[in-house]
Amino acid sequence: MLIAGNWKMYNGPAETAEFCLGLREQELEGVDVVVCPPFVSLAAAVQLLAGTEIAVAAQNVHWDDEGAFTGEVSAGMLRELGVYGTIVGHSERRQYFGETDETVSKRVHAALEAGLFVIACVGETEQERAAGETEAVLRRQLAVLEPDDNLVLAYEPVWAIGTGHTSTPEHAQEASAFIKSQVEAPVIYGGSVKPGNAAELLAQPDVDGALVGGASLELESFTAICRAAIRS
Ligand code: PGA
């Protein structure tokens, strides 16, 4: 089981340090825990979680080693900092920052090549779901990815992200099984995961963990979800 906290654009270095100091005191054996702070807070997280089993990942990565790409960060730079992995292709990147299946593919390949662990996100929008296109969308998003020991896929239906409308466990299971039929990799679920719904989502046979946004920002709710994963 993998529980990853996607902090999005929350938690600067000082808040990150405070969170990580609290997190290192927790007894979290039996679950793989990852925190994904914004770029500016990665160094603080790496430093404060050093010597623990908790991994630190970025939220995005560029495909080139270096170059004139204002605002971007390379896999080599993340590695130099001691960062373990990265999220790629989050729906907010696709929706607001022009991320496409092609750029997702380039980022994933470069990150894996550089030795980073990757959480690649896929998922359909509300409109696509209503039109019965969920599998077609997933098939298209997954067509650019290949299995890799360091690749985990996150099924994040866009209609469930930050909305409080969690997917039913049955739908999460069905979509995760479909994803595995396309790319053989562990699949974690994301979209309004909370301490109250984590156990039933994680109980699904093809759900191998969770990518948690809002509920990962408070130590108490994040560790409650980690504990649900330990019990499942
Ligand atoms: P949420 O976000 O848990 O706040 O819905 C999940 C995500 O975007 O990864």
Q: Encode pLDDT of 94-138 as tens digits.
A: 999 999 999 999 999 999 999 999 999 999 999 999 999 999 999
Give me ligand 1 centre to Cα 211, in Å: 7
Q: Which atom of ligand 1 is nearest to the CA of 8?
A: 8
Q: Judge if the beta carbon of residue 5 lies within 6 A of ligand 1.
A: no
Give me ligand 1 centre to Cα 178, in Å: 21
Three-state SS across 2-39?
EEEEECCCCCCHHHHHHHHHHHHCCCCCCCEEEEECCH
Radius of gyration of the chain measured on its C-alpha atoms: 16
Specify burial of residue 220 (Cβ count, 10 A radius: 0-12, 13-18, 19+).
exposed
Which tens digit of pLDDT belongs to each residue from 45-86? 999 999 999 999 999 999 999 999 999 999 999 999 999 999
Give me ligand 1 centre to Cα 191, in Å: 5
Among 119, 161, 197, 201, say which to mutate for ligand 1: greatest number of ligand atoms within 8 Å of CB. 161
Q: Judge if the beta carbon of residue 209 lies within 6 A of ligand 1.
A: no
- Separation of alpha carbons 88 and 204, rounded Å: 24
Tell which residue, 130, 117, 123, has the closest CA to residue 61.
Answer: 117
- Separation of alpha carbons 123 and 155, rounded Å: 6
Locate the domains of the chain by residue range.
Answer: 2-218
Q: Which atom of ligand 1 is nearest to the CA of 92?
A: 8
Fold of 2-218: TIM Barrel (3.20.20)
pLDDT the model gives residue 186:
98
Enter the tokens of residue 157: 């239906």
Q: How confident is the model at residue 164 (pLDDT cuts 50, 70, 90)?
A: confident
First-last CA distance in the chain: 9
User: Span 12-23, mean pLDDT?
Assistant: 98
Give me ligand 1 centre to Cα 67, in Å: 31
- pLDDT at residue 162 greater than cutoff 90: no
Which tens digit of pLDDT belongs to each residue from 175-229? 999 999 999 999 999 999 999 999 999 999 999 999 999 999 999 999 999 999 9
The dihedral built from the CA positions of residue 197, 161, 173 and 206, taken in this order, carries a sign that is: negative
- pLDDT at residue 231 greater than cutoff 90: yes
User: Span 12-38, mean pLDDT?
Assistant: 97
